[in-house]
Structure 1
Amino acid sequence: MKKLLLALPILLLWACSQKDLVNVEGKIDNAKGKVLYFDRLNTTGAEVIDSVTIEEDGRFEFKVKNTKPEFYLLRLSNGQLITLLAEANESLIVSIKGVDMGKDYTVEGSKGSKLVKELNDKLNETKDHLATIRKDLESKKSDPNYSNISQNLLADYVKALQNQREFSIDFIMKNATSLSSYMALYQKLDDNTYTLNENEDIKYVKIVASSMKALYPEHDYTKAILGNLKVLQKKYNNAKVAKLIADKGTNFPDIKLPNQKGKEISLTSLKGKFIILSFWASQDVNSRKQNRDLKRIYEKFNKKGLEIYQVSIDQDEKLWTKAIQDDQLNWTNVCDTKTGSVNATRLYNIQSVPSNYLLDQKGDIVGKNLFGLALEEKIAQYVK
């Protein structure tokens, strides 16, 4: 009996030592001699917890004390990494197969890590699809049928963005109680474009923030999202007030893009004028023909109050600026050559070029896709 009593405290001590731990083990292929790091991903950056030099068999194992859901990274020194989301007492088994470890791995034993993988898999799929479209646009610029090709590719590009956005929203609504939804809120398609980037998306920040505040009130990520929500709410309120002031009597969304000299010019800066909002492409034959009509109309009505705000969907700055010079376009011309002005085309649901909207002096949209004589007649009704 004495032996049993002596053994009991030791057993309890061992059992307590196994609580509140996350165990991550697995195998990585083709990484012999490389250093695999295990990081904790904080709101301010990554903190190295442990590291191991990979042996011939590719096996690795890490343990870390954990009392709440946390993001972790498995990272090689070449920048390849996997993001995990683990909770206390979870044992994760990770199998890394491909050269691009972030795309070719499996994880078992953690629901949160599976959700993170689902998020990243979809984002990578969308990024790859958008990159393919941009490459196709670039490679087909010399094609005689470029006008039709570019229209179809542009429509495909917009659809891909919409699909990613819908996926992110659906993911958040289904997994609002998981920290993975925090990641879904802040995923980016590139350095400047969030998957959720509309003003009304603040409602999804509110949903995730409310859930995290209830479940993990002291978590650093909870404090971060609540702080971000205050900033976003202030910006949202200011934007609404500004819109009420600036858009009194208007019904068109603003565009702000750089001109050929790099200076950003907004559509609303022309408010008070009759505006032709024109979408075009330098390599599109019909767009170039339309430029000749626009020149004639501009010369006739400009001194009476007509302005043109022309948005190019070009992704080649040299071709865009050369077309402006060759066609002698003297009005406002803007373009985001990195994306083909995709945000502006989404905003106005542009499916083909040339396209246009007519905005009267009050800012009301009074016409759409009018060309030639029909365009001139419509302008004459407002500009006298």
Structure 2
Amino acid sequence: MEKSKIVMGILAAATLGACQSSKVKISGRLVGADARQVYIEQLSAGGKAPLIDSVSLDDAGNYRFELKNVPSTPSLYTISYNGESVPVLIEGGDRLTINSAGSFARNYTVEGNEESSLLREFNLAYVEGAEKLNDIAAAYARNGQSEEELKRLAKAYSDEYLRIKRAQLAFIVEHKASIAAVYALSQRLPGDRYLFNGQGDAVYYRTVADALEERYPQSPYLASLHAEISRLDALQNLSATVSEAGFPDLEIADMYGKKVRLSSLEGNVVLIDFWSPSLGNSNALNADLKQLYEKYHDSGFEVYQVAVETSKPMWINTVQEQSLPWISVCDLRGEASPALTIYNVRKLPANYLIDRKGDIVAKDLYGTSLEQQLEKLL
């Protein structure tokens, strides 16, 4: 009896030690291509993928990775071979087998980890759908198509696009407590900036964050999920402040901490100017704008300048060094600022010109072009 208890105790300790192991082994066989190197990278919570290791295939196409100090909470990695990458979820103690014959991204299999198998299910369907969209787009772009054929292709593209989106959202909701859902949240089809429709995306991020908080409270992806939820909530709040005049209102703090509403400038001709203090051309652009401001300010020209920056000292020092005379505001969120999303700013610098009635009449005007518009409007 005592001997049995001792054996059971040893087995329990061994099992516990295996569960708590931080070592991971990944092996498999890749055939059907001439490439000899396999790479593994870790996707950080910020989306970057630093290289962890690389190994060579043997003559039969076999490979093997051994990783140490891997956390017990599943993390996203990518395995790359022959110019193609596939995502996997790895946690300490895993023993994964990843095989492929032919195209790595289309034909790979995963054994040994339930989360990775789930991720494979999503990824293969998503990649296949994206390839169909590319094929339809290529057919549409070919010369000599009849109008009827172009309409058919346009409908086929729209139908496939909606099918992929519905499948993506369904996967996220169904597997909300899986890290695979985090990966699915980040995938975008060509030309997409949002998961679904921008403002409504927060509900999906919140659904996944709530489920993960319960299942994986130590997950490194929770912080980025909550940050995205905050950004989307702020965007929705901004969208609710669209003024009767027809432009999205903004309320952002100036360098003294006082919030300034864009709509408080109605009745003037207003330039909403998005810029970055760290851009090399900011000094020259602001110098040109100062000349126009001094010339037209008394006639009713105002500038509402939004700095895209995360460092308050950098922003304030630049404003003071360049002696900027207009309204300077910054939410210190950098490229995550909701103001960029609501005004669809994709590059810096950028600006919008609003007339006295509150209508946006022009965008991205500088120098002579801006002065000509000001002459007309004032």
TM, length-normalised to structure 2: 0.56
Identify the residue that residue 96 of structure 1 maps to in structure 2. 100
Query: What does 1:122-161 align with in structure 2 at a 5 Å threshold?
Result: 122-139=125-142, 141-143=143-145, 146-161=146-161
Identify the residue that residue 118 of structure 1 maps to in structure 2. 121
Query: What does 1:164-179 align with in structure 2 at a 5 Å threshold?
Result: 164-179=164-179
Structure 2 CA distance for partners of 1:63 and 1:189, relative to 1, 3 Å: same
RMSD: 2.9
Identity across matched positions, percent: 22
Indicate yes or no: 2:183 matched with 1:183: yes
Identify the residue that residue 106 of structure 1 maps to in structure 2. 109
| 2: CA distance, partners of 1:73 / 1:114 | 14
Structure 2 CA distance for partners of 1:22 and 1:148, relative to 1, 3 Å: same
CA contact (8 A) 1:68 1:87 kept: yes
CA contact (8 A) 1:177 1:208 kept: yes
Amino acid at match of 1:56: D
| 1: CA distance, partners of 2:27 / 2:190 | 32
Identify the residue that residue 59 of structure 1 maps to in structure 2. 62
Which sits farther off after the overlay, 173-182 or 43-52? 43-52
Amino acid at match of 1:231: R
Identify the residue that residue 29 of structure 1 maps to in structure 2. 31
Query: What does 1:1-384 align with in structure 2 at a 5 Å threshold?
Result: 16=17, 19-20=20-21, 21-30=23-32, 34-44=36-46, 45-64=48-67, 65-76=70-81, 79-98=83-102, 100-139=103-142, 141-143=143-145, 146-190=146-190, 192-242=192-242, 246=246
Q: For structure 2, which runs of at least 5 residues remain unmatched after alignment?
A: 1-5, 249-378
| 1: CA distance, partners of 2:216 / 2:15 | 28
SS in 1 for 2:196: coil
Amino acid at match of 1:199: Q
Amino acid at match of 1:71: L
What displacement does 1:81 show?
A: 1.7
| 2: CA distance, partners of 1:118 / 1:14 | 29
| 2: CA distance, partners of 1:171 / 1:218 | 23
| 1: CA distance, partners of 2:120 / 2:245 | 44
Structure 2 CA distance for partners of 1:163 and 1:33, relative to 1, 3 Å: closer
Amino acid at match of 2:44: N
Structure 2 CA distance for partners of 1:149 and 1:214, relative to 1, 3 Å: same
Deviations 1:21-68 (CA, angstroms, capped at 9, x unpaired): 332111111467722122222124223333211110221222333311
Structure 2 CA distance for partners of 1:195 and 1:130, relative to 1, 3 Å: farther
TM, length-normalised to structure 1: 0.55
Q: For structure 1, which runs of at least 5 residues remain unmatched after alignment?
A: 249-384
How many residues align? The count is 236
| 2: CA distance, partners of 1:163 / 1:108 | 28
What displacement does 1:19 show?
A: 3.4
Structure 2 CA distance for partners of 1:243 and 1:95, relative to 1, 3 Å: farther
